[in-house]
A and B are shown apart, each in its own frame.
Chain A
Amino acid sequence: MALEMTTDTESAMDTTISAPPAVSAEGETLKMRGRDVKVFYGDKQALHGVDLDVRKNQVTALIGPSGCGKSTFLRCLNRMNDTIDICRVEGDILLDNDDVYDPRIDVVELRARVGMVFQKPNPFPKSIFENVAYGPRIHGLAQSKADLEEIVASSLQRAGLFEEVKDRLDEPGTGLSGGQQQRLCIARAIAVSPEVILMDEPCSALDPIATAKVEELIDELRQNYTIVIVTHSMQQAARVSQRTAFFHLGTLVEEGLTNDIFTNPKDQRTQDYITGRFG
C-alpha cells in the first residue's frame, strides 16, 4: 500500500510544487493554512471548524485555556493525531500547496518537513550524539560519517547546546538537565532540516532560566524556520511570537499580530482571558 502511495505522491507533488506560494493580504508568504478544521475523538468533537494561517519565518503562538483545542490543532499540522486510533480529522490543512490529509501525502515525509518538539523533553535513551544523529540517519541525509558528525555538531550549535555538551557527546541524553534536554530535542528536530517546527508547550516542564534560554533560541530559529508554538503562558506568547491565535472551547476566537491581541483584543473572550478572568 505504502509503495503505491509514494509513486502517486510524486506526480501529485510535481504539479503542486510549481504553483506559486499563497500570500497573505500583507504580502507575507503563508507556509501552512488550515481551513474549517474539525477534529473528533470518537463521538466527542474537539475542534469546531478552525481557519488559521501560519506565516513563513514567523512564530505563531496558540493560546487559550486548557482543553480549548490548541494542542489538538497543533498535532493536526503534522498528523501526530494519526497515532490515536479514535481520532478523526475533517477539513483542509495545506503545507505550501499540499493538503497534508490528502491520502496520497506521505506522513513520514510530512513529519520530516514539519518537525515537532514536545511538552516534556523526551530524549531517546541513547547518547547525545545518537539522539541528534537519529533523524539524519533514518532519512539518509548524511553520505558519510564525517557528514553526519558535521550535521550533529551544526545542529547542536544552532540549538545553542554545543558549547555545553561538546565534551560529552557520547553520554546519555537523559543525563542532561531539563532545559538542556529540551534544547537537545530542538537540536534533534532541526537536524532533520524541517520547514516548520511545532512546539507543544516546550517550556512547561522547565525552570525560568532554562525557559529563557529556550525562548531566546525560538526567537533565533525564526529566521530560518516557521514556528508554531502552543503555550500556556501569555507572557511567553508575547515575548516570542509575532502572531497569536486565541482558542476557546474548540473554536478559534481571534487571530492577529501579537501586539494587537494583547493590547487591543477584538473579542470579549480574548479580553477576559488575557486579563486573567478565566483560564
Chain B
Amino acid sequence: MIDIAQDTAGSAIGGRVKGIPSGVHTTDEARKRLKKRYSMEARFKAYGIGAIAMAATFLVLLLFTIVGTGLPAFTYNYVSVPLNLSSEKVDPANPAGASYNKIIRDGLKAELPFASDRKNRRVLYSLVSSGANVILQKQVVADTSMLGGTGPVAIPLSDFADLYVKGLITQKNEITTTSAATVSGTEGQVTITAEKPEFGALIAALKSYYENEVTLLSDKIEARGRSEVSVNTKITGLETRLKSEKDPLVVQRLTAEVESNREALEKIKSTLETRKAELAVLQGHLANIENGGTLNNKMPSFFVNVNGGTIKAEKVTPTSVSGTAFIPLSSDAAVAAGQWGVEELETPESFRKFSDKEIAYTDYLVSKGTIENQWNSIFFKSGASREPEMAGIWGAAVGSFWTMLVTLSLSFPIGVAAAIYLEEFAPKNRWTHLIEVNINNLAAVPSIVFGLLGLAVFLNVFGLPRSAPVVGGMVLALMTLPTIIIASRAALQAVPPSIREAALGVGASRLQAVFHHVLPLAMPGILTGTIIGMAQALGETAPLLMIGMVAFIVDIPANPVDPSTVLPVQIFMWADFPEPAFQQKTSAAIMVLLGFLISMNAIAIVLRKRFERRW
C-alpha cells in the first residue's frame, strides 16, 4: 500500500519520525488547528445536548397537550334547579316509573320563565344532558329521602354547555363603556342608544369582515379574469387553425371545440358580472361602514348586557345597537355610564355548535349562581356511552383489571418456571438453545401478530368467547412472557453460585436449593421485571383489537368472560368520536392510564432500589 523509497539515513529504529519537526505541537499553526478542533468539539457536544433537549421537548409537549386537554374533563358543570319530586309527580311506591324528563324540564322552565315559546324552550332543554333523566332516576331510587317535596338537585349540563362554561367553546371579551345609554324596550327587538359612540369594536369587526370578503372576492374575480383571457386566446388560436384547415373531419372537431369554448366564455363572463356586482355591494357597505351596518353569523357575536337583560347585537351604528333581547330586561330605564357593557364572543356563531341563544341562557344560569363545577363522578363511575357527558372509564378500567388478572396469573408462574428451568437446570444443548433463540425472537414479534394468534387459535380453534378479558389476558400473557422470562433469568443469574453451593453442601437437592435459597433472593428482580411486563401489557392495544375487545359495551364486566373493553382500547375508540367533549375524555382517560403506568413503574423502581443487593 505504501510506496515510499526506504530512506537509509532515517530508518534506524528509535529515530525521530520523518516529516514532523520537533516541537510541532507548540507552533502557532498547531494552536490554530487546536482552536478549530475545539470548536468542533463544542459543536459535537451541542448536538448531543440538542438531541437530549429535543427528546425532552417531545415529552413535555406530549404531556402538556394531554394534560391541557384532559384536565377539564375531571370536573363537570351541573345546574342546580329546584325539582318537584312530590308524590303527585313521583309515586313513592314506584320511584323508577316517574317521568323524570318532564320533572327536569319543568324545573328548568321555572328557572327561565321568559323562554316560553317552543323554540326557546327547545334551546333551554338542550342545555342539560340528554341522560339527565336516567341519572336523576338512579339518584332518586338510591336515595328516596329526596322524594316528597321540591328541592334543588344538581343536573349535569349537556356536553357543549359544559365545554362553554369551561371556556372551551369561545373566547369572551368584555368591552367597557364610558357613557350613559337609553333602551327602547324590555323584550323582543330592543335598541340601545348610547350618548357617545361606544360601538367602535362592533364596527371594527364588521369592517374587518367586509375587508376580508372583499379580498376574497377580488381574488376570485382576478382568477376568473385570467381564465377569461386564456379562453379568449384559445378561441383565437382555434379560429386561426380553422382558417387553414382543409380536412372536413378536423374542421368539424375544431368547430365544436370553438363552440364549447365560446359557451364556457359566456359562462365565465356572466359569473364575472355577478361577482363584480357582489363586489360593488360589498364595497358600498365598506365605504359606508363608519355609519354602521348589519352583523351576521360569520363574524364574532356581540351581546349587550343592560338592566339584567342580554341583547344580541344585529344592527349597529356608532352610537346605537339594536337586536333581539335573549334575556328580557328588567326595565326600560336609562342606565348610567359603567352600568352596562358589551361582550364579544370571538368565535363566529356559524363556526361553533353552541348557538348565541344557548350561550345567553347559560350565562344567565351562571349569573344566577345555579351552575356549579363538581368532581366528574360520572366519568369515573360509568361505562361506555355515545353521549359524551354520560361516558366513563369505569367499564374499561374493570375490563383492564380482569385482563391484567388473567395475564398475571398466567405469565408470572409460567415465566418464572421457564426462567428457573433455563437458568438452573437446562442442559446446554440444541433444544435449550432453540428455546432461548425463540424467546429472544418472541420479544421482538410485533404485538399485532399475537392478536392474530389469539384470533386464530383461542377464538376460532378453542371457541373461546369474543371480547372477553380471559382471551385478552391469555394473548397479553403470551406477549409479556419473554419480558418476564428475560428479567427473571437476569435476576437468577445475579444470585452468586456460592449460595447454591452452600445449600447443596448441606445436602439439599438442586430443586430445594433453587426453591428455598436462590428464588427468594432473586424475587425482587423477578417482581421488578414482572411489573414492567404488566405495565407494557396494560398499555397494549393492537392485539386486543384483533380479538374483538373493541366492541361498544355499556355494562360493567362482572367476570373475566363477560364482554368488555380495556382502557387503551377505550382511548382508541374515544379518539375516533367526533364530539369535542370526547377529546377531553380521551385525554383524561390517557391521564388515568398514564397514572397507573407511572405508579407501576415507580413501584418497580422502588423495589429495585430497596432490594438491590451487591454480592
Contact = CB atoms under 8 A, between A and B. Distances in A.
B16 to A, nearest CB: 5
Interface stretch (B24-32, B274-282, B501-509): B24-32
B4 A150 contact: yes
A159 interface: yes
Interface footprint category on B: 20 to 34
Given A158-B15, A191-B17, A223-B15, A153 B31 contact: no
B37 interface: yes
Contacts of B369: none
A275 to B, nearest CB: 33
Nearest to A140: B33
A240 to B, nearest CB: 12
A9 B31 CA distance: 9
Contacts of A17: 26
A222 B14 contact: yes
Interface stretch (B5-13, B179-187, B481-489): B5-13
Contacts of A159: 13
Contacts of B31: 6, 9-10, 109
Contacts of A9: 31
B1 interface: yes
A190 B34 contact: no
A3 B38 contact: yes
B2 A129 contact: yes
B41 interface: yes
Interface of B: prevailing SS: loop
A84 interface: no
B24 A141 contact: yes
Contact of B17 (A112, A158, A166): A158
A149 B11 contact: no
Given A108-B37, A152-B2, A193-B24, A142 B19 contact: yes
B18 interface: yes
A150 B19 contact: yes
B20 interface: yes
B564 to A, nearest CB: 53
Interface footprint category on A: 35 or more
B241 interface: no
Contacts of A113: 25-26
Interface in A2-19: 2-3, 5-6, 9-10, 13, 17
B71 interface: no
B598 interface: no
A266 interface: no
B39 interface: yes
Contacts of B145: none
A217 B13 contact: yes
A49 to B, nearest CB: 30
B41 to A, nearest CB: 6
A271 interface: no
Contacts of A10: 28, 31
A42 B8 CA distance: 52
Contacts of B39: 3
A139 B38 contact: no
A13 B31 CA distance: 11
B352 interface: no
Contacts of B38: 2-3, 5-6, 108
B516 interface: no
Nearest to B38: A2
Given A17-B26, A108-B34, A112-B25, A158 B4 contact: no
A106 interface: yes
Nearest to B25: A112
B4 A193 contact: no
**What are the 4 closest A-B residue pairs judged by CB atoms, nearest first?**
A220-B14, A2-B38, A154-B18, A193-B20
Interface of B: 1-4, 10-26, 28, 30-31, 33-35, 37-39, 41-42
Given A109-B31, A158-B12, A193-B16, 9 more contacts: A10-B31, A141-B19, A166-B2, A193-B20, A193-B24, A195-B22, A220-B12, A220-B15, A223-B14
